[in-house]
Structure formats: C-alpha cells, structure tokens
Structure 1
Amino acid sequence: MHQTISPAILYWGTPVIIISTTNEDGTTNLAPMSSAWWLRQRCMLGLASQSQTTRNLQRTKQCVLNMPSDSMVTQVNALAKTSGRQDLSPFKKAAGYEYVKDKFGRAKLTPMGSEMVTPLRVQECPVQMEAELVQVNEMNCGEEGMGGFFLGLEVKILKVHGEESIVQIGASDRIDVDRWKPLMMSFQQFYGLSGRLQPSRLAEIDEEHYR
C-alpha cells in the first residue's frame, strides 16, 4: 500500500561534500553540504544564495569539492551549523548556527595546497576535486517567497585527487568501488554504503567509453 505524503525536504540520499572556497581576506572557508550530483566532468551544487560559500564561489569562480569517508562523521558534524558569515540570516540564527572563522581548526582538519585553484584542500578527505564555476541557475522560480533563495551552481572539475588506498591497483585513473566508502546523507542523517549487491549490467560498459 502507498499513501500520499508531503515531505518538507526530498533528500533521498547523496554523498556529503565539504566545499572549500576563498574568503575575501584570502582564508579558506569550509562548508558541508549534500545537494550535489555529477554528469561527466561537471557537478551541480544546490546552495543557498546568501551563504558564504555561494558568495565566495560566485566572486572567485573557484572551489574544491572534498569528499569525506564514512569514518569522518565527527569532523563533518563539527562543521555543521557553522557559518563563515558574521551577519547570520534569521533562518540560521533560529536554527542555532554560529559564526566560525577557522573552520579547519574547529573540525581538526588539515589544510593542504591545491594545484589549479586557490582554495585549500582537506587532507583527510580521500577524494578532492578542484573545480571552477561555469554557470549559475536560479532554483524554485515561480514558488511564492522562494525566488532567488536557492541556486544551482554548475562547476567544471579541473583535477581529481584520490587517496592511494581507494585507487584501483593497475588502473590509476579508476576508483576501487569496493574500497571507497563515501559518507552519505539521507533526510539529514548520516549513512554509509552497504557492500556490493550483485553485478550491474551497466558495468559491462567500460568506464573509458564515457571519456
């Protein structure tokens, strides 16, 4: 039996990302998020238009998408409900957000230099993707009171860094999916991936075919 429901959010399950962007003073801001999906070498990010991350990304056109493993819940939680903006929005004030300048220090994460962009990478994250902004799309157009509140930001992936432990042996450009354990979020709760269920017919297509 099915019943009609009206969830306030539709976060069915996506990977957690810690986005690095550059503040006006040159420091790096970190922000966890999970509204993201990929197609080829592009990624769509769903962000609030007035967040510090969005403002930084629109100003500098650069970011790093750091993907934590399922063992990094503590670090991600340390960044949750923090903001890089001192002038918190009414929504964030009501939700208990606080301004934090040093996000690396707050989450006990290690900064490391990037190769093609200015924002620093998060050393502890097994996957780090340097990216540049290519297009901004306004979301929720036509919904009363929501115009301009959310944006869909398309970024182009410039360089991917993968920890050696998750790279396939003998195939340096491929991720070993049995060893890569991304942290997932579903309806605001953290989850990990279960083991492989059974072979997928899509896996019959060589990955290089998509290049």
Structure 2
Amino acid sequence: MHVVPGLKVLYFGTPVVLVSTTNPDGSANLAPMSSAWWLGSSAMLGLGDAGQTSANLRRHGECVLNLPSSAMAAVVDRIALTTGRAEVSGYKRAQGYRYVADKFALAGLTRQSSDLVTPPRVAQCPIQLECRVTAANPFGAPGVTATAFEVEVLRTHVDEDLVIPGTTHVDPLRWDPLIMKFTEFFGGGVNVHPSRLAEGWQMPALRRHGEVPAE
C-alpha cells in the first residue's frame, strides 16, 4: 500500500560532490553538494542562489567537481554547515550555518593545482573533474531560489587504482562513492557517518545510524 506523506526532502540518493571555485579575492572556496548528475561529458549542478559557490560560478565560470569516497564522510561533514559567504542569512544561521573563509583548512584537505582551470582540486578525492560553465538557468517553483548550472567536463583525474587496467573505464566494484540519501551519508548501502546537515534540517533521528526504535 502506498501513502502520500508530503515529503519535504526528495534526496533519494545522489553522489556527494565537493565543488571548488574561485572567490573574488582569488582564494579558493569549497562547498559540499549532492544535486548533481552527468550525461556524456557534461554535468548539471543544482545550487542555491544564496551561496558563495553560485556567485563564483556566475562570475568566474570555472570549477572542479571533486568526488569523495565513502571513507571521506567524516571529512565532508566538517564543512557541511559552513558557507563561504561572509553575510550568513537568517535562514541559514537558524540551521546552524557559519562563515568559514578557508574550508580546505577546516576539513584538513590539500589543494592540488588544476591543469585547465583556476580552482584547485582536492588531492584526497579519488576522482576530480575540471569544468567550465556553459549555461545557467533559474530553477525552482513557485519561488526561484536556485540555479541549474550546466558545466562541460574538460579533464578528468582518477586514482589509478580505480581504473580498469588497459582501459579508460572506472572499475565500479572498486569505486565506492559517498552518497547523500535524505541528508544522511551512505557508502556501500550502509550509513557511514552521522550528518550535521540532517541535524540542521531537523530530520527524524529514528532509525538513524543503526538505531532501533523503541517498542
């Protein structure tokens, strides 16, 4: 039997991406997001308009999509409720967001120079995609508060242990991406780490992290 629960979150399961962009002063911003999908050599990114990443993409038009493995869940969670924009909106502040100028340092991640774009790669991420923005369209209804950025993947960097020898393909049995499922971190079908984002969104704690509900 189906029910109509009126879901407020529709994140059924998508890969986490650490998006690195260039701030107006030339420094690097790093933002976790999970509204991304790929087709051919292009990707579509869904980002809120209030964030620094959206502003950087509109102004500079370049980014790196860094894909963390499930083993990096704790690292990603360190910057889950942070923003690179100094003026934190009341809405975000109520969710627990705070301004952090250097999110690479907060996460303990290492900058790695890119080949074709200005924003740095995240050295610890097994897969890194250098990208250029090709289109930006308003997204969301009834009130438009987000943008769908279409980006072209210019170059891919993949940990050699993930590449099937003698091919240009990633071994899906060895690649275990960090997945965001209803604001919770998953890898290999298992909840791998508590999520600050879930707390900020006031998601139900019942059955989270292997908990068993009381009878």
User: Normalization by structure 2: what TM-score?
Assistant: 0.86
Map of 1:192 onto structure 2: 187
| Shift in Å, 1:74 | 1.1
Map of 1:204 onto structure 2: none
Map of 1:180 onto structure 2: 175
| Shift in Å, 1:140 | 1.7
After superposition, the C-alpha distances for 1:46-84 in whole angstroms (9 at most, x for unaligned) are: 100121000001100000000000000111001110110
The one-letter code of the counterpart of 2:185 is: F
SS in 2 for 1:79: coil
Alpha-carbon distance in 2 for matches of 1:139, 1:83: 21
SS in 1 for 2:161: helix
Alpha-carbon distance in 2 for matches of 1:82, 1:158: 28
User: Normalization by structure 1: what TM-score?
Assistant: 0.88
Alpha-carbon distance in 2 for matches of 1:153, 1:73: 25
Map of 2:138 onto structure 1: 138
| Shift in Å, 1:169 | 1.1
| Shift in Å, 1:177 | 0.8
- Please identify runs of 4+ aligned residues in structure 1 that moved more than 2 A: none
Map of 1:96 onto structure 2: 96
Report the number of matched residues.
190
Alpha-carbon distance in 2 for matches of 1:111, 1:53: 17
Query: What are the residue-to-residue correspondences of 1:1-211 with 2, within 5 Å?
Result: 1-141=1-141, 143=142, 146-147=143-144, 149-171=145-167, 173-194=168-189
SS in 1 for 2:124: coil
Map of 1:209 onto structure 2: none
Map of 1:205 onto structure 2: none
Question: Which runs of 5 or more structure 1 residues have no equivalent in the other structure?
Answer: 195-211
| Shift in Å, 1:175 | 0.3
Question: Which runs of 5 or more structure 2 residues have no equivalent in the other structure?
Answer: 190-215
The one-letter code of the counterpart of 1:58 is: R
Alpha-carbon distance in 1 for matches of 2:132, 2:76: 23
SS in 2 for 1:92: helix
